[in-house]
Chains A and B, each alone.
Chain A
Amino acid sequence: MTPAPMAPLDITAYTVTCALGQGREAAWRALVEGRTGLRPNDLPDCCLPTWIGRVEGLEDLPLGGELAPFDCRNNRLAALALGQDGFLEAARGAVARHGAERVGVFLGTSTSGIRETEAAYASRPDETAALPPGMCLARTHGLFSSVALVQTLVGAAGPALTLSTACSSSAKVFASAQRAMAAGLCDAAVVGGVDTLCLTTLHGFHSLELVSAQPCRPWDAERDGISIGEAGGFALLERPGAAAARVCLLGHGESCDAHHMTAPHPAGLGALKAMEDALARAGLAPAAVAYLNLHGTATPTNDAAEDAAVVSLFGAKLPCSATKGWTGHTLGAAGIVEAVLTLLCIERGFMPGTLNLRRRDPALRAGVLEQSRHAAIGVAMSNSFGFGGNNCSLLFGGRG
């Protein structure tokens, strides 16, 4: 069933903090300079041979005062990211304009504050010992904790939830917020996500043999897995206002592969449906898209499946690239990170290349850029495809 077109939503603020630095300008400079944020794994308690995208300084930014119960790496990054680029002020402005109960908060994450619980398990003298009784799991490990923190900082009291669908989480939040606004539940929404480095994902993906020992190489003939990163990012969605926003959410599409827990559908059928539905909601044909930010994790199967879907829908000429060589795969934050990078590219007329792509896999035919180029972008798409075949595509551009 083809979805009906939707009315665009204004994006009136957006920000990202990741391995490239704090805020949009740090990310932008790294994109333009072709400078990766990845580094060899230097986490103190993990000796896996891999490259990671780490945010500097979180160890020195504890949450204090009334926010102390929330203190954990994930919430430190949420607070740090929220404070960049005037985003917190913009969100509070939306609360002042629309009323607290009319501003929603929809955030994605995969592991939230699990690192604290990892430390608690590791500190037990043996496996029958109790965990520290004073731990407030809900405010750290609990999936909702970053949403509660952001609601507190922004003063938002509208609809709120955490979306946790692995790598599509902080892309699907755009769709949830749009549906909540269409249903009349709110007039503005803070969307985004936060995920931080932890042993669970590093060792978990490693056990599945999906982690590369080198910086990830999307679309490369010798690609062999992901580089895990951490990030926090946010966007402010509002109903169209009097002043035309420079960028809008034009459409979204979601689907399931219905295939396998860890392997994508080989022909990318779920990915194809998500991209098609995004175009249908935007009322646009494939030819209207100028640039696509690929999910592009650099696993052999992900890139092959996404390539099949992209070529089937857009042909081999659509300029596209994978930016995970810059940021790493930020899991539950990947959706918002790549949405923000795509918005920056639209505003500044820039198509990034694909870092670490040295020799293209001859079996893959999508128009993947190896080198960056400056070019006007009217409409751009961003893909996020998660474990369990959970897919989301977003379309961004100017209004009308």
Chain B
Amino acid sequence: MRMRVHGVGVAAPGLEGWLAAQAVLNGQRPYAPSPFAPASPPFLPPNERRRVSATIRLALQVAAEAAGMARAPTAPAGAVFASAWGDLEIMDRILAALARPERPVSPTQFHNSVHNAAAAYWSIGTGSPAAASAVSADQATFAAGLLEAAALGLAEGHALLVAYDAVPPPPLRGLVPISQPFGAALLLGREPAPGAPALELAIGAGPPSALAEPGLEALRRANPAAAALPLLRALAAQGGTVELPYHGGRTVRAAVRPAGT
């Protein structure tokens, strides 16, 4: 499958925004992770803006960057929101409430706990009726989401992939192996566009690509969504072929070619 990458968003410690991230991925700046908090999404109405969790803010921040929404609120592309674990903070609160005798589940928390909550807030904030999906595939979530978004983009012209996972709250930390937050988004298009690298996807095999810089490699292993890092590096370099972890020992092979090819 061949697509073009029209936009990129990224948010992680030390990689806040695609411009800053490219310099780090290209080795022009050292990787210096520092804690960050996703911004409150300016494109949501006030009521919704108040209610979104940190996990949802992470997803919406990278979605907005990739869709070029820093200025103009248009987003006709269908979207695929890919998260291995979804919003564990809310899940923990609901489960703790259910363990109490009176079971005080908050209605707002319940409707925000659906896996497609970020997708729903995205559609509400952009006013877009385009289809939005929310997917999960364990450690293969990024690659599976990428294939899903590419197939959607091939069918409909454009598709936005939003991959994200957040650090679980303390009770779940021993059970869910995520130690850093990470979000990345790609706006894919079927047609060439100025400055848009080409991306070819196929099923491959073998070990997933690793990163040479130890801090970035540690980040890649710390979060299922950070499986995106080798692909982001290839996009920053406008070229390269990487293997992304998929199911059963297979990979999704992603080949990046410069814009204009």
Beta-carbon nearest neighbor of A390 in chain B? B116
- A255 pairs with B124, CB closer than 8 A: no
Q: Is the CB of B175 within 8 A of A137?
A: yes
Contact B137 A162 (CB under 8 A): yes
B131 contact from A121, A255, A261, Cβ within 8 A:
A255
Residue of A nearest to B116 (CB): A165
Taking a contact as CB atoms under 8 Å apart, the answer to whether A184 and B1 are in contact is yes
- A142 part of interface (Cβ distance < 8 Å): yes
Asked if B129 lies at the interface with its beta carbon under 8 angstroms from chain A, I say yes
Note all chain B residues with C-beta closer than 8 A to A374.
none
A-binding segment of B13-21, B107-115, B208-216, B228-236: B107-115
Q: A334 → chain B, closest Cβ, in Å?
A: 14
| Interface status of B70 (Cβ within 8 A of chain A) | no
Report Cα–Cα, A122/B96, bound state, in Å. 8
* A88-135 at interface with B (beta carbon < 8 Å): 101, 110, 114, 117-118, 121-122, 124, 127, 130-131, 133, 135
Q: Is A310 in contact with chain B by the CB < 8 A criterion?
A: no
B260 at interface by CB-CB < 8 Å: no
A159→B147 contact, CB < 8 A: yes
- Complex contacts, B137 vs chain A, CB 8 Å: 144, 147, 160-162
Residues in A neighbouring B136, C-beta threshold 8 A: 142-144, 161-162, 164
Is the CB–CB distance between A130 and B171 below 8 Å? Answer: yes
User: A86 at interface (Cβ–Cβ under 8 A)?
Assistant: no
Given contacts A176-B133, A257-B129, is CB(A165)–CB(B119) below 8 Å?
yes
The answer to whether A110 touches B114, judged by C-beta atoms less than 8 angstroms apart, is yes
The SS class assigned to the A binding surface is: mixed
Q: A163-B135, A204-B113, A387-B116 are in contact. Are A130 and B174 (CB under 8 A)?
A: yes
Complex Cα spacing A180 to B133, Å? 14
B124 contacts A387, C-beta separation under 8 Å: no
Selected interface stretch from B31-39, B61-69, B148-156: B148-156
Q: Tell me if B130 and A199 are in contact (CB < 8 A).
A: no
Binds A, one of B98-106, B180-188, B192-200: B98-106
B-chain residues with CB within 8 Å of residue A273 when the two chains form the complex: 129
Within 8 A of A (CB), among B127-149: 127-138, 140-141, 144-145, 147-148
A203 to B103, CA, bound (A): 8
Q: Would you call A240 an interface residue if the criterion is a C-beta within 8 Å of the partner chain's C-beta atoms?
A: no
B86 sits at the interface (CB 8 A) = yes
Q: Does A317 contact B (CB under 8 A)?
A: no
Q: Quick check: is B218 within 8 A (CB to CB) of the other chain?
A: no
Does B111 lie within 8 Å of A387, measured CB to CB?
yes
B43 in the interface, Cβ–Cβ < 8 Å? no
CB distance from B73 to the nearest CB of A (A): 12
Q: Is there contact, CB below 8 Å, between B116 and A161?
A: no
Give a binary string over B59-88; 1 marks a CB under 8 Å from any A CB, 0 the rest: 000000000000000001010000011100
Taking a contact as CB atoms closer than 8 A, the residue among B114, B128, B138, B150 that contacts A183 in the complex is B150
Task: Note all chain B residues with C-beta closer than 8 A to A101.
Answer: 203, 250
- Known contacts: A137-B175, A200-B94. The answer to whether A166 contacts B114 by CB under 8 A is yes
- The chain B residue with its CB closest to the CB of A177 is B151
Query: Which residues of the partner chain B approach A124 to less than 8 Å between Cβ atoms?
Result: 99
Q: Are A256 and B132 in contact (CB under 8 A)?
A: yes
Given contacts A137-B175, A143-B136, A144-B138, A255 and B130 within 8 Å (CB-CB): yes
**Size of the chain A interface, CB-CB below 8 angstroms:** 67
Residues of B within 8 A of A3 (CB): 155-156
The answer to whether B135 and A390 have CB atoms under 8 Å apart is: no
A144 to B151, CA, bound (A): 20
Q: Is B29 an interface residue (CB 8 A)?
A: no
Say which size band chain B's interface belongs to. 35 or more
The answer to whether B110 and A204 have CB atoms under 8 Å apart is: yes
Name the residue of chain B whose CB is nearest to the CB of A386. Answer: B116
Chain B residues with CB below 8 A from A390, complex form: 116, 119-120, 132
- Give the chain A neighbours of B138 by CB distance below 8 A: 138, 142, 144, 148
Residues of chain A in range 248-266 having any CB-CB distance to chain B below 8 Å: 254-262
Q: A160, A183, A200: which contacts B1 (Cβ < 8 A)?
A: A183
Q: Are B135 and A161 in contact, with the CB atoms below 8 A?
A: yes
From A151, A205, A260, contact of B110 by CB (8 A): A205
Q: Let me know if A255 and B99 touch, CB within 8 A.
A: no
Tell me, yes or no, whether B126 is within 8 Å of chain A by CB. Answer: yes
Task: Tell me the smallest distance from the CB of A258 to a CB of chain B, in Å.
Answer: 4
In the complex, which of the residues A138, A204, A208 has the most CB atoms of chain B within 10 Å of its own CB atom? A204
Which residues on the B side are within 8 Å of A255 (C-beta)?
A: 129-131
Kindly state whether residue B248 has any CB partner on chain A within 8 Å: yes
CB atoms of A256 and B154 under 8 A apart: no
- CB of B95 within 8 A of CB of A118, answer yes
Contact A254 B131 (CB under 8 A): yes
Query: Is B116's CB under 8 angstroms from A262's CB?
Result: no
Q: Which of A122, A137, A259 contacts B124 (CB 8 A)?
A: A259
Q: Is A30 an interface residue (CB 8 A)?
A: no
**In the complex, A131→B175 CA distance in Å?**
8
A371 CB, min distance to chain B CBs, angstroms: 35
User: What are 30 A-B residue pairs whose CB atoms fall within 8 Å in the complex?
Assistant: A1-B156, A101-B203, A114-B91, A118-B95, A121-B98, A122-B99, A143-B84, A143-B86, A144-B137, A148-B138, A160-B137, A160-B140, A161-B135, A161-B137, A162-B136, A163-B134, A166-B114, A179-B151, A182-B151, A183-B155, A185-B1, A200-B105, A204-B105, A256-B131, A261-B48, A262-B111, A387-B116, A387-B120, A388-B120, A390-B119
New A-B pairs, 10, CB < 8 Å, besides A157-B248, A208-B110, A389-B124? A121-B96, A122-B98, A137-B175, A176-B133, A183-B155, A185-B147, A203-B98, A258-B128, A258-B129, A390-B119
